Amino acid sequence: MQAALKAMNRLVADHVIENYAIGGAIGASFYLPAMQTEDLDVFVFLPESSGPLVILTPVYNALKAQGGRVEGEYVRFEKWPVQILTDANVLIAEAIREAVDTDYDGVPTRVFSAQHLCAIALQTGRSKDYARVMLFLEENEVDLEALSALAARFGLSDRLNRVLESARGGTK
């Protein structure tokens, strides 16, 4: 994963992207025990463009120039397929802006905060996403008050309440 993170840092330095943050299961693994996943989800801010279409070609070309191999929707660095995703909604844009600076084996990187990982999981709404939120709660790796406030701002309180009710029901 180091090669992929170094490549992402280079894209920021070269102004191919404005910034990035790691999300998904790999992002969660910075807080929780490692989860099985097949790819590295990298969410990016692209430089301003003149049109409404999101064009990732410059990002893919820059990653290829650094040794990445394009395989469908991924760019592979060593064993890691990297999926490039944009700030597709306001919650994701906030998660990128407020990402936590951290270190992965000596490589500086940025990772979504625990509450943003949980809020995005609630927004996505798949069973595995709800299970991830429950794990964050069980492991005390998320500030419930901050998550509740975030859920309220993004209309996710009902989903969070369902997860909380399920967690309470599982501990009886």
> Among 85, 146, 98, 89, which residue's Cα sits nearest to residue 118?
146
For tokens 């500086």, what's the residue?
Answer: 108
> Which amino acid would we find at residue 28?
A
Q: What are 142's two structure tokens?
A: 């998320």
77 and 131 in a common domain:
no
Domain count for the chain: 2
Distance CA 92, CA 41 (A): 12
pTM for the complete prediction?
0.91
Q: What is the pLDDT of residues 106-140, one digit of tens each?
A: 999 999 999 999 999 999 999 999 999 999 999 99
Domain residue limits at 165 = 116-170
Q: Which of 94, 112, 130 is the last residue of a domain?
A: 112
Q: What is the pLDDT of residues 7-65, one digit of tens each?
A: 999 999 999 999 999 999 999 999 998 777 789 999 999 887 756 778 899 999 999 99
101 and 75 in a common domain:
yes
